[in-house]
Structure formats: structure tokens, C-alpha cells
Amino acid sequence: MDIEKQIALINKQINNSGFQKDPAELYEPIRYFLKNSGKRLRPLLTLFGCYLFTDDIAKALKPGIGIEIFHNFTLVHDDIMDKAPIRRGSKTVHEKWDQNIAILSGDTMLFKAYDYLIQVDKDLIFKIISSFNDCAVEVCEGQQHDMNFETRSNVSEEEYISMIRAKTASLLGFSLKLGALIGGATDADAENLRNFGLSLGIGFQLKDDLLDVYGEAHKFGKRVGGDIIANKKTYLLIQALNLSNSSQRERLQYWLQKDEPADEKVKEVTKIYNEIGIKELTESKMDEFFNSGFQYLDQVKCETERKEKLNDFSKKLIHRDS
């Protein structure tokens, strides 16, 4: 599967996705947000899931676009809840327009996503929409847990992993399952691919947590240490609070209560992480989920050559530095 070619097809389809209508105040924000593309990971995984079982991956393109539109809908609404000013280096929709427009444009994206998701064989529609609805509810549950964590001081590792499984990983898992079902996979193979995506998704989020502290700003695409500045309950902070000795915990609590100077806060909290060995601990947990994911992929019954292409694509994502 030619990844660059498929990304070009995904972008072309999105640019022709029916958001060229009036009123402009409703549709222009959607065009603006979708054009600022991101990695297109979810539609790519949908195509990969299909490719494992058939050469006719074109039939998975529009459903994959549906997942991408839904994903971007969640980001528009997340940005409102987080009061985020920037997304992918550009102003968020509610900043560039206003909150009411962002809510309505996001809602429109959600409904449009269904138009794409139902463009499958008739005998698959109920199964796919039912599975998608379960996944969408999981995403909402994960978001609520994430918001709940903001006011809690005792979030456990298990709770955090469960939250990112729902909020982030579930849609990656569904993307692979969706493509597999469209490609003619058995329910067992589709479920193994879903579990592969879930495990990778958790590992990817842990890697994002790690890069926020230890990444290079020019590669990462946003300010390094942003999670530290915001006191965000990431895997790194949760483990630091759990594993620190009394002196380290006192210093950590001191910086959690301070907003400025931001650069010094990032430096001092990172120093505490280094003392505890948080970087190595996070890398170990990432590898645990990545290895678990590939075990699920090994169980999928399809041509070895096709599986190797998904394997290689996934490993490139795992070893990314941005």
C-alpha cells in the first residue's frame, strides 16, 4: 500500500466532502479545521485494516474519511472545553470565530461523519454503526475522566491507562476494525486488529506524554513542557507523585502550586523526573503496550506480506520523535 498516495487521496476526498455550502459561518470553520490536516492516521489505519484482506481498499476510503471527520469534531469540542488557543500551530475554531460557532460547526461534522460511515455494503451497516456508537461513547467517557482528573490529586496508573484507552486508543482500534470488516475479515480477525490498535494507541499516548517533556521543540511542534506548566495529569506526573520520596514530593508539590517562572518550573520538575527515573519507567510501559499490540497482530490470519507492511508502518510511528 502506497502511503503517500493514500494520504493524497484522503486529502482530496476531505477537500470535496460537502462542506462548501452556506451559511459561511457554519462551513468555513470546518474547512479551516480539516485543512490543517494532522497525520490522517485514522483513515490510514482504516485503509490498512482493509488492505490486509483485499486489494480493493478504495471501498474503505469514505468510511475512513468518516472517522477522520469524527476525530476532528472531537478536537473542536475538546479545544472549547480546554479553552485551548492553538491547535496544530493555528488558532482554534472558537478563538478564530467564537464558541457558539465552534459548537455548531463541530456538531455538523459529527452528523456528516455518519454520511461517510454508512457508505459500506448494506449487510455491514448495522454492525459498523453499532460498533462506532460504542466507540464514540467511549471517547466521551474518556474525555470526562480526563476532565475529572484535573481536580484530583490521587489518580492511579490504572485509572490513567483506562482513560487514555477510551479517549485516544479506542478510535484507533475502531479504525482498524472498520477497515477489516469492510475488507471481509472474520469477526475474530477484526477484533484482534481492534486490540492491536488499542494497545498501540495507549503506547502512542504515553509517547506523547514523554515527548512533551523530553522531545525537541522544533520536532515536537509545540512547546516542550506544556503538560508540566499546565499541571496535566500525565503518566509521568502520576508516577512521580506515586514514587517520589518525601523530599522529592515536597519539591514537586511546590512547583505544582506555581505557574511562574514557567521555564524554571519545567526545568525543576524535569529534574525530579530524572532523579526518580520517570523517563525509563515510561519507556518501559510504552514497550509493554507496543509488544502486546504486536502479539494481537500476529494472531490475524492474512497474507504475511500484507501484515508486514502494517507492521513496518506501525514501527515507524512508534519510533517517531514528533
Q: How confident is the model at residue 283 (pLDDT cuts 50, 70, 90)?
A: very high
Q: How confident is the model at residue 266 (pLDDT cuts 50, 70, 90)?
A: very high
Higher pLDDT, 223 or 257: 257
Helix (H) or strand (E) holding 90: strand 90-91
Highest mean pLDDT among 34-38, 79-83, 213-217: 79-83
| Per-residue pLDDT at 202 | 98
Residue 59 DSSP SS3: helix
Query: Which segments of 1-121 does DSSP mark as H helices, in order?
Result: 3-15, 24-35, 41-51, 61-82, 93-96, 99-117
What is the dihedral angle through the alpha carbons of 305, 310, 316, 318, rounded to the nearest 10 degrees?
A: -130
| Per-residue pLDDT at 85 | 85
pLDDT in tens, 194-205: 999 999 999 999
| Per-residue pLDDT at 20 | 78
pLDDT at 260 over 90: no
Cell of 171: 478510535
| Per-residue pLDDT at 145 | 95
Q: Is 151 exposed, middle or buried (0-12, 13-18, 19+ CB in 10 A)?
A: exposed
High-pLDDT (> 70) share of the chain, %: 97
pTM for the full model?
0.93
CATH label, 3-318, candidates 1.20.1250.20, 3.40.50.300, 2.60.40.1930, 1.10.600.10: 1.10.600.10
Tell me, letter by letter, the H, E, C secondary structure of 280-295: HHHHHHHHHHHHHHHH
pLDDT in tens, 295-310: 999 999 999 999 999 9
Higher pLDDT, 215 or 273: 273
- How far is Cα 165 from Cα 172, in angstroms, rounded to an integer? 10
In contact, 85 and 134? CB cutoff 8 Å:
no
Q: How confident is the model at residue 74 (pLDDT cuts 50, 70, 90)?
A: very high
- How far is Cα 105 from Cα 107, in angstroms, rounded to an integer? 5
Q: Is the peptide bond before 85 cis (omega within 30 degrees of 0)?
A: no
Q: What sign does the dihedral 295-299-301-303 (CA atoms) show?
A: positive
pLDDT at 221 over 60: no
